[in-house]
Amino acid sequence: MTCRADSKSLINRAVLVLNQTYEPIHICDVRRAIVLLIEDKASMVKTVNHQALHSVSQAFPVPTIIRINKYVRLRNWYAVLNKANIFRRDNYTCQYCGAQDVPLTVDHIIPKVLGGSETWENLVTACIYCNNKKGDRALAETGMILRKRPIRPHKVHTLQQFAGAPLAEWRPYLFLD
Ligand SMILES: [Zn+2]
């Protein structure tokens, strides 16, 4: 599709992609979403109000949410385990004392020397102070308490990171309302 200059930013706008079952599964740009709609692989769920993309002969409403017509079976439907995603899951908050805006690190709840593993369930965000205080002791020995049980996050949590104020229309589909 050829677009007028004023359409350039619209074409790159983020679009939430829902599975056939209305679960959020992906984020793509408007260009990709329109291809899926034209090829009849997806249906429009919600458009951006009063906005249209113009080709030579047609005007297209701008999608903000689309739904895949055929159910997509998902594998590896979990966020990747890494430091950044652990911080994100824990909302950049020390899971022992609740401190924010301090240097953060990743703590092994069961320390490595005691056989603790590198898993979502054994890794939490901790401030340097709590991390040092805990040291290589088992949690029960320290008297420290976790603020919440760490879980393996569904990828929807990653998608939620994108759901800021400008994309308020996505909120019901990301289970934020
Ligand atoms: Zn702390």
Residue type, 135: G
Distance CA 134, CA 128 (A): 10
Element (H, E) at 51: strand 42-54
Distance CA 53, CA 62 (A): 6
Mean pLDDT (the chain) is 86
The model's pTM is 0.59
CA–centroid distance, residue 127 to ligand 1 (Å): 4
pLDDT value of position 2: 46
CA–centroid distance, residue 102 to ligand 1 (Å): 9
- Token code pair at residue 150: 């760490």
- Token code pair at residue 38: 């034209």
Q: Average pLDDT, stretch 109-116?
A: 94
Q: What is the pLDDT of residues 144-163, one digit of tens each?
A: 999 999 988 777 666 766 55
C-alpha to C-alpha distances, 9 to 1, 40, 72, 113, 142, nearest whole angstrom? 14, 24, 29, 52, 53
Q: What is the pLDDT of residues 42-78, one digit of tens each?
A: 999 999 988 888 888 888 899 999 999 999 887 766 7
- Reported as a pLDDT band with limits 50, 70 and 90, residue 96 is very high
Q: Average pLDDT, stretch 17-31?
A: 89
Residue 168's φ and ψ, nearest 5 degrees, are -55, -30
CA–centroid distance, residue 130 to ligand 1 (Å): 4
CA–centroid distance, residue 155 to ligand 1 (Å): 26
CA–centroid distance, residue 124 to ligand 1 (Å): 11
